[in-house]
């Protein structure tokens, strides 16, 4: 999986940062596609500056309905249709997302020429296609807001062909059945259990993408043991009380969660417009004092999961 940050500013765009949007390139051999997490104003302009085509976009996850995470959605939906794209698109988001999409399209006299499905979510598993599972957890923000945990299903372990041949199993169609964990019966009457010849499964990658939030118990559930965690760091620790009062986290609090949840890497984003480049580096330094494996997201930065 590959993360592409299309917008990393909190609340309003700045000269160097657009508002929130994160693209996820699945890069899976059997399940290709692009997912988008949030769609702040100007997201389609940001997308045009990348090598990624909106026609490949098949799923959008919205964390909450604040404008800096949502106002780019109607334009993206309409432009996708005007470009002649017919590939279906599904939007997941909190209660109200269906009304927002329907109302903006209706009142502007717009429509989509592709199948569009809008799913209003609650806590729990919101998506599972057998390759990826997405779980939503409610966060601590003034309006209903979610974080998403994306997990690739484990890959079956490799089949020990050498051992099978040594035990009298000839290479061929039987190998595929054994790789699926089936038990087969040989001509001599012996039963061979495929599970006895499989290596340990390869754990799937895990990713957590947070909406806006002050510290809350659900955060640990979302983040526990993920390879990469994307979390807001709206303000510095000196302004922690102000951040929490508005449903946000400080850089230090994001790093504490990463440390406590034993994540592999922390990417902080949703940076207040009060910070210039030097201020951003100061936020990053605060994070690294608590959790060294941390990076500060910039627009168009790419991070492998």
Catalytic residue ranges: 68
Q: Whole-angstrom Cα distance, residue 196 to residue 179?
A: 10
DSSP H or E stretch at residue 185: strand 183-185
Burial of 302 (0-12, 13-18, 19+ CB in 10 A): exposed
User: Hey, which residues does 151 pair with through a beta bridge?
Assistant: 133, 206
Q: Give the CA distances from residue 52 to residues 11, 24, 35, 44, 85, in Å, rounded to whole numbers and listed in that order.
A: 25, 10, 11, 11, 14
The three-state DSSP-derived secondary structure of 17-83 is CCECEEEEECCCCCCCCEEEECCCCCHHHHHHCCCCCHHHEEEEECCCCCHHHCCCHHHHHHHHHHC
């Amino acid at each position: 999986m590959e993360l592409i940050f299309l917008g990393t500013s909190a609340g309003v765009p700045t000269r160097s940062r657009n508002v929130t949007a994160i693209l996820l390139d699945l890069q899976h051999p059997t399940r290709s596609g692009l997912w988008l997490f949030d769609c702040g104003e100007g997201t389609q302009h940001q997308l045009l500056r990348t090598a990624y085509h909106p026609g490949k976009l098949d799923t959008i996850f919205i964390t909450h309905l604040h404008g800096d995470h949502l106002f780019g959605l109607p334009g993206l939906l309409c432009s996708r249709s005007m470009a002649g794209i017919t590939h279906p698109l599904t939007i997941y988001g909190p209660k109200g997302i269906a009304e927002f999409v329907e109302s903006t399209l209706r009142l502007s006299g717009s429509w989509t020429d592709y199948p569009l499905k809008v799913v209003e979510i609650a806590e729990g598993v919101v998506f599972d296609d057998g390759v990826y599972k997405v779980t939503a957890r409610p966060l601590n923000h003034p309006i209903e807001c979610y974080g998403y945990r994306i997990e690739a299903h484990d890959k079956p372990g490799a089949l020990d062909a050498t051992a099978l041949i040594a035990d009298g199993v000839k290479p061929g169609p039987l190998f595929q059945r054994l790789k699926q964990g089936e038990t087969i019966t040989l001509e001599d009457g012996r039963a061979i259990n495929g599970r006895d010849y499989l290596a340990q499964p390869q754990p799937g990658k895990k990713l957590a993408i947070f909406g806006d939030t002050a510290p809350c118990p659900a955060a640990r559930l979302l983040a526990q043991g993920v390879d990469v965690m994307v979390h807001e760091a709206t303000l510095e620790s000196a302004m922690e009380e102000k951040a929490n009062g508005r449903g946000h986290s400080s850089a230090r609090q994001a790093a504490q969660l990463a440390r406590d949840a034993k994540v592999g890497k922390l990417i902080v984003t949703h940076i207040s417009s009060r910070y210039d480049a030097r201020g951003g580096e100061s936020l990053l330094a605060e994070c690294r004092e608590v959790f060294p494996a941390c990076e500060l997201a910039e627009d168009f930065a790419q991070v492998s999961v």
